[in-house]
Structure 1
Amino acid sequence: MLPLLLLISLGVGVLIGAVGVGGVLLIPALNVTAGLTIQQSMATALFTFIFTGIVGTWLFQKRGSIDWGITVPLCIGAALFGFLGAWANTWLDSRVLTLILAGLIVFAGVYTLRGSTGSHQEAFAGQRRRQQWLLAAIGAAVGFGSGLTGVGGPALSVPLLLLFGFSPLSAIGASQVIQILASVSGTLGNLQFGTIDFKLAAIVAVVEVIGVVIGVRIVHAVNAQVLRKAVAILCLLVGAGLALRAFGIL
């Protein structure tokens, strides 16, 4: 089923580059098509997101779409808490992890579908210190969630940043950078506590990176609302499917 996995990986890369949400779909794909356990799928997916993050960051920076004032505190929080999330991953059984992952996927889908429904003004605008602490807290939540479930930073950071009034393009740009820190931190934990299929990860990462290049071109060239709705529906379906599978219905 390698061709199907590679096709999904390409789509995941496109979605990461275009709307910031998409990495969550790789974990169930690895679980179903490659036969990895849910923990192995999470660890392997998280490792590949290091490379999609590096390429996404480079491409967004070239276009001047990364607000480093937002990004730096996010990365600090993510780097500190990603390792803790990976450690916590080893203490939970696969059914609990699957349900957590399903919840995160549905959460990302709902917020992506609704779009930017929070305040049109950034939280704590004009109050730099408070905003920096808020961003660090968001980064900590993203890092811990990434390490715990193998979900890349964008799936968690983009919805949270939109909720607190940050612009979609700024959120997607920042998420490319936080993806690197959260993934590296979580992977360090997985190297000690988890299992990564490096051979499969290498193949998947190459295809994902190609997708990211395509996705970044799309988000800077066209209105991304159609893509946002499409990935939101995908997230809702995949999240529901994972939940049903955890309960033995599928």
Structure 2
Amino acid sequence: MTGLTRRSFGAMILASSAAACAPRADIPSRDDYLEGYGPLPDSGYSLPGIPTEYLQGVNRRMTGFYNGEQGPNTLDIDPFAKFLYHIRADGTTTRYPVGVGRQGRSITGSATIRLKRKWPGWTPTQNMLRTEPEVYGPFAAGLPGGLRSPLGSRALYLYRGSRDTFYRIHGTNDLESIGNSGSAGCIRMFNQDIIHLYDQIEVPMQVHIRDRAESLRVDPENYERGIELPPKIIDPEELLGPEAEALDRPPVLDEA
């Protein structure tokens, strides 16, 4: 397995992006993880466990009966309460905590997941390159799937009809961002959670994104939970330099 060292753990980040991931963080050495959030071998990598301080209260995966307004076999995203619900045919749901960036609050209503990818690569959009060339210019050629990709271990791609919305549900190592809002990014999940969700769904799959009124109506207790985090910027050398390239390696994928 390829472990995430201090630098390679920090390499899965890119702030101020539509696919923002994480600030650097030390990998804890412990074995007191909550169920489902321990170290996880995946595609030739060894993902670190999630420290319990990031999983307090409602900020962790939970299963129960769904009390929202959407039908079965749907993902229901509440960007204001910072939750994603996978609604199953029997009326039960798994609720995942999420982090929400600027793009994650810019779309409401219905969409469809038409693609899902393990360890996906990332390329900034033309709009990102045009509006913030100083941030995205160094990454214009993109980053391959792996430890350096800001989309983390999995990504779900949302479409409206045949049009890509550029709205993504993806993994992150920005542990602090889960349950909070940021200046950038779409919908981010703990890597353990996006892997769990990825394995539960088939594409195409319907997605609903709540607007403010629906969030307040359905879940007033958690409406606008969390805080607004400041932007996190990383030196491109951390992702593009020779040391970052040497520490990264392609994932070992057994399926698409």
TM-score, normalization by structure 2: 0.29
Q: Which has the higher strand share?
A: 2
> Which structure has the greater CA radius of gyration?
2
Give the number of the structure whose residues are more often helix, by fraction. 1
Greater relative contact order (CA < 8 Å, ≥ 6 in sequence): 1
